[in-house]
Structures are given as structure tokens and as C-alpha cells.
A and B are shown apart, each in its own frame.
Chain A
Amino acid sequence: MGKQTMGTPCQALQFRADNKLYRIQTPQTPVARTENWAKFNVDQFPTGTNAIVAVLAYTGYDMEDAMILNKSAVERGMFHGQIYKTETIDLTKMRRKGDGIVNVFARSDVAGARKGAPAPVQNSNFVDTDGLPYIGQIMVEGNPYCSVLNTVTGNAKISKLKGGDKAVVDFVAAVGTGPKEPMQKVSIRMRYGRNPVIGDKFSSRHGQKGVLSQQWPDIDMPFSAVTGMRPDLIINPHAFPSRMTIGMLLESMAAKVGVLKGEFVNATPFQKCVSDPKSSKKNKDESLVDKYGKQLKEYGFNYHGTEVMYSGVLGTEMTCEIYIGVVYYQRLRHMVGDKYQVRSTGAVNPVTRQPVKGRKFGGGIRFGEMERDSLLAHGAAYLLHDRLHTCSDYHTADVCVRCGSLLSTTPVIQQKSSAAFAMGLGSNKESRIICRVCSSSRDIELVAMPYVFRYLASELAAMNIKLTLTIGNG
């Protein structure tokens, strides 16, 4: 519904070339709905699933706004979804003024290509002779999906799939191409499967968002002895008191009645205020809980929406009755697959030699001031040194003790003394560090420091500020 949900973004998805679209595979219409639902045709763009939600603390994996999904329900298709990404390749942008059409979509082994052109990079399985991919082809990172041939040089420029995810070619469209001239612009749409995994985010319509922390198989979920139902989703009772989302509890009960009746439930807010006070005098004082409780009782369920449930693992009755009902749940578009970051070693900033930031570049996550304070408070000095120095821009510099400069030292290659050379001891060259200021190679020490410190010294030197180090043994 909102901008965060993974729902049904449009009806003409088949023919569109949006940059990025999220889509859920088998959406449902909510059982509990407002009067405006039909008015605004929201059913044309459904966004979620009527999940059987049990409110209980089970196995501990639903602590702190985490939630448990029924693995078997997910395997049956609940919350399955895809991301569609479109790439548009425009050859007119490669064209220089005055030139004719030089680049065309083609494979490099196509007839008319330059003789002796490099063989297509084993890409005939992925790219057809027209230089475009086969629809339905499954691709992994590095597979080619488009080939552009320069008809003058005969060289082919191949676009390869980026990112570690498996993709499927969903759709290829020629854009704005007249009948005469060769095709110059195409849109290629890739489809990425995004089925629920641990770390994905879900939410009810009451803002009760949670992160999937575990998927339990059907047999491990608690079950109701009367109906044999296992919940699709388990949410922790602690999610309610402080947030006071009574609406969700009411929806659970109301939709449960609706499901039993086979009818949609009117969940419009402020119904009592709007309704004609004379017509429904009798029901005016009745609370919603009473209204739905009575109906639940008629169907042989507990008045308060609870059910006696059995542990799926042990088969024993649980000591508490469990509040269980139907809540419309949505999948949100924040998925771990798009967000996780890992780094052991990798790209560094060439100026500071510190790790770069950003997921795209395999960068690290900033270890900031507050994190530093935390480690200091713990007295974890070695760990602090490891994070901020060893794993960052560890550097050793030669420092002249006499003048205290770390910029004036430089290695000098000298001829070895002829005596040593005569004895045939290795190479006749040896390298020494000398200080250009003191013109001496004595009193030069190797000091470990962050590389940014050397950078700082250089920057200061450029401003005519001399930075000296005092080297001592204490």
C-alpha cells in the first residue's frame, strides 16, 4: 500500500521498462477492509496476504520485533516475490557528431564483422546473433547479456551481469526504432527472485513491523487441536503493550469472524460516529470485542479469540491459550539480499589508504567515534588497535630522530664496499635510508603509524608547517 510495500506496482508490468519494480507473486485482498477500499480500486493493486497470526512467545526467535514464519507456508508460496530491473542501452550516445551509425547490436561472430575479430567469449549460449539475450535465460554474475559491435573496428563491447544474484532475462524491447535504420536503443529487463529469507522485513497494516528471524517447518509450529491449524506467522506479545496497536488485535478477531463467515469485514474507522444514531440504537453501546466475540462463539470458537494450542515439537498442551486470528500482512521492500555488507580486505582510498565505504565497492562499515568510545569503556584496547589501525591504514615510516621529520627520509641505493663485493656476497648494491636534511643515515627509526598521519604531515608541509616527531623509548 505504502511506498515501502512490495505489492502490485502496476497492471501493465509485462510491457513496462521501469528502472526497478518490486512485485509480490500471490497477493490477496484483505478480509478486513475499509469502505474506501472499493472506491479507490485498491483491490486492483493488492499488496499482502491474510496470514494466520498467533501472538505468543515461541522458541525465543520472536523476541524484539522479530517474527517467525511457517516455512511450509512459505514453500507453498506465501510472500514470494520478484524484483524487476531494467537496463537501457542507447547507442546514439556513443555516436559522435557527423558520424554515421557505427555501433550496432550484434554478436562479434556475425557475418560482416571484421575478419579475424576475437572469437565471441563463449557467449553464444547467452547472446543471440542480434546481440541481445534469450528471454527466459538464467544468468549468474559475469554472464554476457548484450553485445554491441563497432562496424568500423570490428570490436564487440559486451555487457556482463553485475551483482552476485541469479537473474532471468524477462523481456527485451527495441525502443524508438524506425523501419529504415538499424536498431539503436534497447531495454533489457532482468528478473531477480526474492523469496523470504531470514532478515527480510514484514509488517501488518498497523505499523507492527518485524524482521523474519527463523522459518520453522509446519511440524514444529504450534497447532490447534480443534482445527489442526498451524499459524503462518508468530509475533511476540511484547510488541503490543508499549505501542498500543489495538487495531491489530481487533483486525485479528474481526478477520477471523470474516473468514469463518466467508464475508469481508467492514473495518472503517469511526463507524459509530458516522452512523445514524437512531437506526442502530441497540448496538451502539456494544464494543467491537463483544460484537465479534459473540460471532466467534457461534462458530464454536472462544469468545476472546483465543485457542488452546499444542506444542508442535512435544505434542503437549501449552499452558496458555493463544490469541490467534487473521491479519493482513505485507512484505516490505527492505531485504537483506540488497543490504548485507561483508569485507575482510578490499578496496582502499588511494589518498588515505583507509578502507573505502559503500556496499557496491566491497567497502567497510564506519567504526565511528561512538564505537571507539564503547571499546574504550570496555577497556578493549587491543581490539580498538586492531580495528582502527591494523585493519585500517597500518603503515610504517622511517623517522629521523635528529630532526624529527618523517618526510625527509628516503632510501638510497649505494655500491657495496668492494671488499664485500669481492667476497661475492650477493648483489653489489645495498639500500640505506638517509635523512636528506641531516644528510645522515644514522639515528633513523622505523615507526608504525596510520598512513593518514603521513598524509597530514605532507599536507602541512605544503602549507609551510613543519611537523616533527619526538622519538623516545618510553
Chain B
Amino acid sequence: MLFVMDATISGPHFAIPLHLAPFKQLLCFSGEQNFIRFPTVRIRELKDDYIKFELRDTDTSIANALRRIMIAEVPTLAIDLVEMESNSSVLNDEFIAHRLGLIPLKSERAMEMRLSRDCDACDGDGSCEYCSIEFNLNVKCNSDQTLDVTSHDLVSSDPSVVPVDNSFAQDISGFDAPEARGVLIVKLRRGQELKLRAIARKGIGKDHAKWSPAATVAFQFEPEIHINEALMETLTLEEKKEWVDSCPTKVFEVDPQTQQVVVVDAEAYTYDEEILKKADAMGKPGLVEIISREDSFIFTVESTGAIQASQMFINAIDILKTKLDAVRLSFDTEEADDQFGELGHHMRGGGIDLVSRVIQ
């Protein structure tokens, strides 16, 4: 399987529905059966840190693979090594180092950077342009007022890699003044000091959650709702209203004019089956039929700010492609059978196909 993206997403200013497609999905294993599908992506909502889209014409395995990769395998940068020079704050060294690690850093560069364990240009001491970015922090409190040390106090050696500026959170109530919105590291009182050198490295969420770019990635199967109109008409208006209200989310509505039950938001349905139970309880089983479409998914992706949510999705596809390539590259080779065993048979299209190949 191979994804090829024809269109690219760029900028946060896209209007809402954008047709991004067709994903040209090539079948990588020649064989008689043809499973070619052309998954499509339709973007519904796009912000810097949020994307909602539909993924159609593919199956659960792909959808879940993308979810898992977005959470655990899209690389970002995070502080990984902290050298304390002076710490007279109330928090101990490990505590501060851990907090520093969790600060999201702008990680547009992460995809082309090297993992420090794979980098042969350095010994991992932080003075290497391919794998590390150095940060310095030097704060001392000289006033009687408590001093907040925030991510804004981190001085980066690379202007493109800085702590995420979450001033977009302006519309969220309960935050302090905009300029004070860096990630709080520690508070200092008079005379206390914090001085350290930190090295950020590339990594993935599988190694440590601090490298995960995703705050939330979730998908749901698209529901298809069919109301049995004839049976519905046997209900009184009161019963209709009662039935509609039994759903915890607002999926149905009684049209005030026609007094008919209509689907207002099919996707609000959470598969909780409350309305089905209600219909049964009212003695009207089969009032509504709800099918979950096994090939259509609605994704909601939220980013920590390390990379744009849309970029996270694109990177996830790239990573999935690389992983599939690794499988494909080795399937022809001698070792393939040792490596994949049964799976190797599947990849060649089953046992019979294997025999015919041997004959040729």
C-alpha cells in the first residue's frame, strides 16, 4: 500500500471544506485479487492546533494506524538533557528537568533532523547542528515579588526551535495576562536562582510521552441513520419528543412545522444505543436503523502546538509509507520467509500464487 498525496495543505487560513484527494493508493503487491482503493480526505475544520477531517474508502486498520502514528511516532523536539549549574528554587533538580522536558517546542525541523543515537557527527554533547539544540536559562529573583520562571525564559540557540507560544489560547478564559502565558516552570522568591543548560533532541512519543505531538487523536465511524417513517408516524407528538430527548446527544429533532422527526446531526451519535433501547421500551422496535460505516472515519486531531495539526497528519502518512516500504523491500528477499513467515505468504497473494511463481 502506498499513499500519494496530490494536494498539499498549507497555511491555517483555509476555508472549511477542502477536497483533498484522491489519495492515489497503489497496490504494491502484484496479485490476481485487486484491493485497490482510493482513500479520500475531506477537511472540515482547520486551525493551527486542530483539524477535523473525514477519511473515506479505507478500513479500520489504516485509520487506527494513522491514529497510533500521530500519537506515538511523529517526531518532535523536546528537552532531553539538563545540566544544572545552580538551583536554589523549591523544586529539586529532577523535578525541574522533568518539567522542562514536557514543554512543547516548535518542531517543524524535527522530520529532517537526526536522532541523537543515530548521529555519527557528534558524541551527543549538544554541540551538533544535526541532532541537538541548546537552551540556556538563567533567572534570579531580586525583588520581593514572587518571580515566575516560564518557558519564555529559555534562550534557544536556534531561532526556529523555541517553546510553543500559546498566546492563541487568548480566548480561553481563566488565563493571566497574555505576556505571562508561557509554560510555568518554577516560582522563585527573593534570592533564589535557577541557572541551567538544556539540550533538546528529536524523539518520538513511543520513547517518552514528551515527544508526542498529539494532545488528542480520535476517530469515529460515520453513522448512517435511517428512520422508519411509517412506524414513526404511529407515534404521537409527545412520544416523538420523548423519544428524541432520550438521546444524550442532539441527533434528532422534531420539526416544529411538519412535526416529523428529522436527523439534524448524524455524527453526534455516539453509538450508545440509548434511542434504540428507548424505541424498544416504547414497543416500537425498528423505529430507526443505525449502521456504522466501516469504511468512513471522522478524525479529530489536536496538537500540543509542537507542529501544526495538519502537518502532523501529513507526517503520519509519510511515516506509515516508510514503514510499509520497509516491509515491501524485504518481501522479495531470501530472508523474507524467516522474517515474515505466514505474512510472507499473504503478501504474495496466498499459497497457490506462490506455487505458480515457483513454476515460472
Binding site for B on A (CB under 8 A): 14, 25, 71-73, 75-77, 80, 82, 136, 168, 170, 191, 193, 217-219, 223-229, 296-297, 300-303, 306-308, 310, 312, 314-317, 321
- A219 to B211 Cα, complex, angstroms: 14
Interface 9-mer from B92-100, B107-115, B121-129, B230-238: B92-100
Residues of B42-81 whose CB lies within 8 A of A: 60-61, 63-64, 67-68, 71-72
- A191 to B209 Cα, complex, angstroms: 25
Contact call A226/B98, Cβ cutoff below 8 A? no
Contact call A315/B270, Cβ cutoff below 8 A? no
Q: In the complex, what residues of A have CB within 8 A of residue B206's CB?
A: 217, 219
Provided the pairs A72-B209, A228-B302 are in contact, do residues A191 and B64 lie with their beta carbons within 8 angstroms? Answer: no
B117 at the interface (CB under 8 A from A): no
Q: In the complex, what residues of A have CB within 8 A of residue B92's CB?
A: 82, 168, 170, 191
Contact call B216/A193, Cβ cutoff below 8 A? no
Closest 6 CB pairs of A and B: A315-B64, A228-B218, A228-B216, A225-B220, A72-B209, A75-B209
**Chain B at the A interface: mostly helix, strand, loop or mixed?**
mixed
Q: In the complex, what residues of A have CB within 8 A of residue B186's CB?
A: none
Contact call B61/A315, Cβ cutoff below 8 A? yes
List, sorted by A's number, 24 A–B pairs whose CB atoms are closer than 8 Å: A73-B209, A75-B208, A136-B84, A168-B92, A168-B94, A218-B209, A218-B212, A219-B68, A219-B71, A225-B218, A225-B219, A225-B220, A225-B221, A225-B270, A296-B248, A300-B249, A302-B274, A307-B272, A308-B270, A310-B220, A315-B60, A315-B67, A317-B221, A317-B271
Contact call B93/A168, Cβ cutoff below 8 A? yes
Q: In the complex, what residues of A have CB within 8 A of residue B250's CB?
A: 300
- A312 to B69 Cα, complex, angstroms: 12
Q: In the complex, what residues of B have CB within 8 A of residue A82's CB?
A: 92
Contact call B60/A303, Cβ cutoff below 8 A? no
In this complex, how many residues of chain B approach chain A with their Cβ under 8 Å: the count is 41
Contact flags B196-221 to A (C-beta < 8 A → 1, else 0):
00000000011011101000111111
Contact call A321/B209, Cβ cutoff below 8 A? no
Report A262 CB to chain B, min CB distance, Å: 9
Contact call B216/A76, Cβ cutoff below 8 A? no
Report A413 CB to chain B, min CB distance, Å: 64
Q: In the complex, what residues of B have CB within 8 A of residue A76's CB?
A: 102, 209-210
Q: Which residue of B lies closest to A303 (CB)?
A: B248
Report B312 CB to chain A, min CB distance, Å: 14
Contact call B72/A218, Cβ cutoff below 8 A? yes
B90 at the interface (CB under 8 A from A): yes
Report B315 CB to chain A, min CB distance, Å: 16
Q: In the complex, what residues of B have CB within 8 A of residue A312's CB?
A: 68
Report A192 CB to chain B, min CB distance, Å: 11
Q: In the complex, what residues of B have CB within 8 A of residue A227's CB?
A: 216, 218
B292 at the interface (CB under 8 A from A): yes
Taking A219-B68, A314-B60 as given, write out 16 further A-B residue pairs in contact, using a Cβ cutoff of 8 Å, ordered by the A residue number.
Answer: A71-B209, A72-B212, A75-B209, A75-B210, A77-B98, A77-B99, A77-B102, A136-B87, A217-B72, A218-B212, A225-B219, A225-B270, A226-B220, A226-B270, A228-B218, A315-B67
Contact call B217/A297, Cβ cutoff below 8 A? no
Q: In the complex, what residues of B have CB within 8 A of residue A228's CB?
A: 216-218, 300, 302
Of listed B95, B205, B210, B272, residue having the most chain A CB within 10 A: B272
Q: Which residue of B lies closest to A299 (CB)?
A: B248
Of listed A76, A219, A226, A306, residue having the most chain B CB within 10 A: A219
